[in-house]
Amino acid sequence: MANLSTAPHIRGGLLTSTIMRDVTIALLPALVMGVFVFGLRALLVIVLCAVTSVLTEYLYRRLMKLPQTVSDGSALVTGLILAMNLPATVPFWIPVMGSVFAILVVKQLFGGLGQNIMNPALAARCFLLISFPALVGAGMPAVGNLFREGAWQFVSGLTVDAVTGATPLQMLKDGQTVDLLQAFLGLHSGCIGETSTLAILVGGVYMLCRGVISPRIPCIYLASTIGFIALFCAVTDRALTANFLVGQLVTGGLMAGAVFMATDYTTSPITAWGQVIYCVLIGLLTALFRVFGSAAEGVSYAIIIGNTLVPLIEKVTIPRAFGKRGGAK
């Protein structure tokens, strides 16, 4: 990977393992809320994703006789992010397959941490959505119903069909209104770690305080998405209400994507103007998918498309070295 910054270089005190530890801690509020809302089955999906991701990386590095990297915590973070993007109702082989795909195909076959061209967890989620849409894109449990099921039925998924319900984001797309307070708290249907905006913000504030992320990418991404959604609704004469716009922020995967996925070090630009372009681009794509797409969501696809364009964005926004002609200004 080429270094895009010019000398002199400042060595930071943060280690990869320290950063991944902080990201893991930041993910816990959203994941704990997911278990609280969706119950034991959600916890099992989280454990399967985490264990499979770490084990896949360990076995691959061992078989290829490469230095072990599981201790840096990046595989664990990948597993946790994948889990937060899955509904609790998926069969247990889905998180296993997704974790293997994320670590083996997207991360390790590209050279390991720092070499992958897109976020491994989001790439795995898109792979699962395309391959098994009926299992991953639907069947999201409605809040509270899972708590009323027996323990064995709960784990086995024998009563999954009885507890499915439309997500608030789909309701917004269909022209309905949603309870914004419940959406903010996370008391609604959806994926395990995306429902509670409050829990996600708690994790985001922790990472900001720890210096793991800056507010630039999340803020510009969120503002761009809402701005383009408002523009597209105005152009198409669609009714635009405060409930609809705020609902776009607090439902679906937008907040989780802005805080935990768009900010990924490896797959986001390092230049300031590059980050602005990147955020506006994925905001535009998210708005296009949400307003004009057949599905209600579009965050995962928007971010991985943006990830693939990061090398080009960095190339055109790299600062010009002193005394040199050309390059971005």
Provide the token pair at 2: 């080429």
The pTM is what?
A: 0.86
Split into its structural domains, the chain has a count of 1
In a domain, 186, yes or no: yes
Task: Decide which of 275 and 238 is more confident.
Answer: 275
pLDDT tens by residue, 130-186: 999 888 875 455 444 444 444 444 444 433 443 445 788 888 888 889 999 999 998
Burial 3-39 (b: 16+ CB within 10 A, else e): eeeeeeeeeeeeeeeebbbbbbebbebbbbbbbbbbb
Is residue 265 exposed (0-12), middle (13-18) or buried (19+ Cβ within 10 Å)? Answer: middle
Would the pLDDT of 29 be above 90?
yes
pLDDT in tens, 64-74: 999 999 999 99
- Let me know if residue 1 belongs to a domain: no
Provide the Cα torsion 124, 130, 133, 138; round to 10°.
50
- On whether residue 73 sits in a domain, the answer given is yes
Does residue 9 belong to any structural domain of this protein?
no
- Residues 6 or more apart whose Cβ sits within 8 Å of residue 56: 75, 99, 100, 103, 104, 108
Between residues 239 and 244, the one the model is more confident about: 244
pLDDT tens, position by position, 100-134: 999 999 999 888 887 888 999 999 999 999 999 88
Question: What is d(CA 195, CA 192) in angstroms, rounded to the nearest whole number?
Answer: 7
* Domain annotation covers residue 323: no
Q: Determine contact, residues 86/136, Cβ cutoff 8 Å.
A: yes
Higher pLDDT: 97 or 240? It is: 97
Residue 119 belongs to domain spanning: 16-317
* 165 in a structural domain: yes
Q: Determine, yes or no, domain membership for 112.
A: yes
**Which pLDDT score is estimated for 113?**
80
CA distance 275 to 293: 25
CA distance 122 to 268: 13
Query: Percent of the chain beyond pLDDT 90?
Result: 64
What is residue 110's predicted lDDT score, i.e. its pLDDT?
86
pLDDT, tens digit (0-9, with 9 covering 90-100), for 286-303: 999 999 988 878 899 999
| Any domain includes 4 | no
pLDDT digits (tens, 9 = 90+) for 195-216: 999 999 999 999 999 999 999 9
208: domain CATH number? 1.10.3430
